Structure 1
């Protein structure tokens, strides 16, 4: 199967919703290959939430080497479905992971969509970089408008 276009993969601050790191790749690159580029050792939290595409032993080893705590979704397999406890745990993890989807929802609904008509990786990296920065500015404005006033 062929994939065309580019993807914006992000790492966000779970407390405030800012994009901390991002990686722009051609669409044919699997998301799981970007995990090392998205991990942020300077983040105050050492938790990593991700979907089940990252639930492999090599990712667990990578996270433990970087001193991150894995909160990656569990994955079922054929003839080995997830237990009810694993499904419940995945549901709890999904509530945190939804913060990432809010970023993409904002870009789609408020910032002109996710479609880019740029040709080449360099132009797409610049376009997505500016869009990610604009999102962070909008998020900052939203955070300070809800912040308590200190007298």
Structure 2
């Protein structure tokens, strides 16, 4: 008997359709640990998750994010929460980014790449990102365990690196 997942949704990114769920994360830029995460159906835009991912207990109050999070409402939210925005600037039709803004975006991308490394590790070393769970609650639990496992592996990696340096 087949079951239908009533929580999962379709989305399209770069012309490719995806079905299921999305794991959005907040990481510690210094150590690479996942501090917060949110699992949502795939059709929920990343920008809607920003309030859930902000961590007031984080040592740094900088927020690096792509241009999907740009806009006055996000800037207001971040300043209200005591965060400093390092969100990518976005060009618009007939208003391209200046060379200075492009350079700043390149610098910000080097920090943001840390988040992509987490997903790369999950894809290459932890069996991928595909889940066959049905329902948001089960997928949330599955991603929570996967994120926790990543943090354990990251801890082992960092502690073995520290031991070899010392």
**For residue 142 of structure 1, what is the aligned residue in structure 2?**
157
Give 2:92's aligned residue. 77
- Give the TM-score normalised by the residue count of structure 1: 0.97
The partner residue of 1:68 within 79, 83, 87 is 83
Match among 116, 130, 147 for residue 131 of structure 2: 116
Q: Counterparts of 2:108 and 2:43 in 1: how far apart (Å)? A: 27
When the two structures are aligned, how many residues end up with a matched partner? 151
Contact 2:10 2:20 in 1 (8 A): no
Partner of 2:30: 15
In the alignment, which of 108, 111, 115 is matched to residue 96 of structure 1?
Answer: 111
Q: CA RMSD in A?
A: 1.5
2:143 pairs, out of 124, 128, 131, with 128
Work out the CA distance in 1 between the residues paired with 2:23 and 2:165: 37
The answer for unaligned runs of 5 or more in structure 2 is 1-8, 12-18
CA distance in 1, matches of 2:83, 2:124: 33
In the TM superposition, residue 150 of structure 1 has moved relative to its aligned partner by: 9.7
| TM-score (norm. length: structure 2) | 0.88
4+ residue segments displaced more than 4 Å: 148-151
Matched residue, 1:105: 120
The structure in which a higher percent of residues are strand is: 2
Structure 1: 5+ residue stretches without partners: none
